[in-house]
Amino acid sequence: MSDEFKIEIVNPEKSFLSKKDVNEVVVPAFEGEMGILKDHISIISFLKPGIITIQAKSGEEKYYVEDGIIEFKNDTLSILTSYILNLKDIEKNKLLELLKNAEEESNKPEISDQLKYLADQKVETLKSIN
């Protein structure tokens, strides 16, 4: 029996990615990173800014996401996200711009703790890519 499952990543504009030969996916869930294998229990969770790592037969891929919702059901992992980038084609300038925006956001005095936490996560992730 193969231990592969299906993954679908959609953003509002299009279906971003669809793969059928995935062995493992690690997502930055809100309460900590979460690895998903085949036959995982049905789950709904949401994401914080971070890196999605997809281990597939065709190789490993990494994506940067800012937010999202994941749903795992019947061996299909659906990820809805409004902002996603493939780490492979990310450009240095774009990265710096994102980092600058995130830092600005986290340094705003009047934001709530939760937003501050999310912004800090963003900064940390972007720095680790850099």
Partner 1 sequence: MASLDDLKKRITSVKSTQKITKAMKMVAAAKLKRAQDSAEKGRPYSEKMNNIILNLSSGISDKETAPKLLSGSGKEQVHLCVVLTSDRGLCGGFNANIIKKAKSYFAKLNKEGKELKIITVGSKGNDQLKRVYGNKIIENISFKNSKNANYFDAEKVGKIIIEKFQKEEFDICTIFYNQFKNVITQIPQAQQIIPLNTKSDDQNNSEDNYEFEPDEDEILSNLLPKNISTQIFKAMLENSASEQGARMSAMDNATRNAGEMVDKLTIEYNRSRQAAITKELIEIISGAESL
Interaction site with partner 1 (CB under 8 A): 8, 10-15, 29-31, 34, 41-46, 67, 69, 71, 73, 78, 80, 82
State the minimum distance, in angstroms, from the CB of residue 103 to partner 1: 20
Closer of 45 and 53 to partner 1 (Cβ): 45
- H helices present in 33-112, as ranges: 92-107
- Residue pair 68/82 in contact (Cβ under 8 Å)? The answer is yes
Angle between helices 113-129 and 92-107 (to 10 degrees): 150
Closer of 37 and 44 to partner 1 (Cβ): 44
Which one, of 36, 30, 130, lies nearest residue 90 by Cα?
130
State the minimum distance, in angstroms, from the CB of residue 41 to partner 1: 5
State the minimum distance, in angstroms, from the CB of residue 4 to partner 1: 21
